[in-house]
Amino acid sequence: MRLIAHHILACHAKGCTSNNFPLKFSDVESQNAEAEFSPDFLKGFYPKIEWNVLITTAKEKFIKFGEVSLPEEQPNLEDLDEETLKKIHHVLLEIDVITGKMSCPNCGHIYPIMSGIPNMLLAEHEIA
């Protein structure tokens, strides 16, 4: 599971409708997955990026770029330079989480990741 999916996923357990994003990682094993750099994609996706989530994610200890230092404030779209775009590209599209857990910041529900696939299924009594 690449981190772009983490930027999308939210808890959907019964009654959990606020503060349910982002899910919090734990026990993560990841690997680098090189992906073709596509500035057009990133610029289009840019308005959907929650900057605080991105910089928090970029500081996760399983990120393997060396230092992924992103500015604390989100740059305007037109001010984005290639270096920053490449860092965003790396964080969102080049880290593949193979195993781990994601827990909801609100209700604590845990979504496991196995063989690179996040399990978002809920038991019947947990469904909203």
Site string for another protein, 64-83 (x = CB under 8 A): --------------------
Q: CA 50, 70, 66 angle in degrees (round to 5)?
A: 120
Which of 78, 79, 124, 125 is in the footprint of another protein by CB under 8 A? Answer: 124
The amino acid that residue 26 corresponds to is S
Give the span between the Cα atoms of 32 and 98, in whole angstroms: 10
Q: Which of residues 26-65 bind another protein (CB under 8 A)?
A: 33, 35-36, 38, 40-46, 48
Give the span between the Cα atoms of 23 and 86, in whole angstroms: 24
Q: In what order do the strands lie in the sheet with 110-114?
A: 24-32, 95-103, 110-114
The amino acid that residue 59 corresponds to is K
CB of 37 to another protein, least distance (A): 8
CB of 21 to another protein, least distance (A): 6
The residues that touch another protein, with contacts defined as CB under 8 A, are 1-2, 4-5, 8-12, 21, 33, 35-36, 38, 40-46, 48, 96, 111, 115-122, 124, 127-128
